[in-house]
Copies of this chain bind each other. A is one copy, B any other.
Amino acid sequence: MIIGIDMMGGDYAPLEAVKGISLYLSGHRIPASLMLIGDKTKIETLLAEHKVPLDHLKFVHADQVIDMQEHPTRALKEKKQSSIAIGFHLLATGKMDAFISAGNTGAMLVGALFSMKALEGVIRPAISTIVPKVNGGTGLLLDVGLNADCKPEQLNQFAIMGSVYAQLILGIENPKTGLINVGEEEGKGNLLAQAAYPLLKENKHINFCGNIEGRDIFTGKADVMVCEGFTGNIILKMAESLYDISHHRQVKDEYFERFNFENYGGTPVLGVAKPVIIGHGISGAKAFMNMIHLAQLMLGKNVMQKMKEELA
């Protein structure tokens, strides 16, 4: 198992990635092999400074970096020697099994969509976010931005992919899966939600629990919640802002603390053949460690294979 890491991605690269790797290696009995992609000299110096053991590390030098503000498609095309472009090349050619980056999100998404194969039958991949629930549990919301406009059948696929992920990664048995909507009853909603409801209702691969209104997003009503990427992205960014607000206002509350997305590391792209995990630009050491853990868990639990079976 080889997990590739873009060492140059994120606001604090490559330092926080190095510290994250150090945390990961010291906390794991049987660590995966890590492939570190980026400025080799810089990385080796930092590894030495932080006394990180080298046994599980491989290095691939990358001359270029895609900056956070660059246009994704253009940057991927023009910077063939960037850590992200090299990462996707290594992933696509079977040189590694998963790829992690806290770099340019758009470039990561474009790379995942166009240099990787989608799982058989998947119309379009999706990205998800963890939703802290007031009852202490954890939910999953998808899509949160890859598909601003969707067809009903896509929401149905999100439901299947989300259910598999919730079961294998979040450890939720037979996850309740709901449709984000503006009312409780069948027939409510915009044209998309109205058309998606019957598909979800008849879907034997999920445990459908009906419509989920805005007020139910943080309750235990559903474990997996599906919507198009427009609404999902608004919900995600609102939820993220809640942490900033409560932090800034010094609200010391355990629940609002759980909106600190660094706890969750990064978001995986679901529906592609291999784990691709995208971190926040502000990812620190803990986030990097968590992303490596997540990639290892996804590989270990054979998440992609299971999705493929359920989608068939």
Q: Please list the residues of chain A having a beta carbon within 8 angstroms of any beta carbon in chain B.
A: 134, 145, 148-149, 180, 182, 189-191, 193, 213-219, 228-231, 233-242, 244-246, 248-249, 251, 253, 255-256
Residues of B within 8 A of A216 (CB): 241
Question: What is the count of identical protomers in the complex?
Answer: 2
> What is the CA–CA distance of A34 and B233 in the complex, to the nearest angstrom?
45
* Chain B residue nearest to A241 in the complex (CB): B215
Q: Are A190 and B238 in contact (CB under 8 A)?
A: no
Most buried by B among A228, A248, A249: A249
B-chain residues with CB within 8 Å of residue A245 when the two chains form the complex: 134, 218, 255
Which residues of chain B are within 8 angstroms of A241 by Cβ–Cβ distance? 214-219
| Chain B residues whose CB sits within 8 angstroms of the CB of A189 once the complex forms | 148, 230
**B182–A229 contact, CB under 8 A?**
yes
Q: Is the CB of A193 within 8 A of B235?
A: no
Enumerate chain B residues within 8 angstroms of A249, measured Cβ to Cβ.
134, 253, 255
Q: How far is B241's CA from A240's CA once the two chains are assembled, in angstroms?
A: 16
Residues on the B chain within 8 Å of A228, using CB: 190
Give chain B residues whose Cβ lies under 8 Å from the Cβ of A237: 213-215
Inter-chain contacts of A248 with B (CB < 8 A) = 134
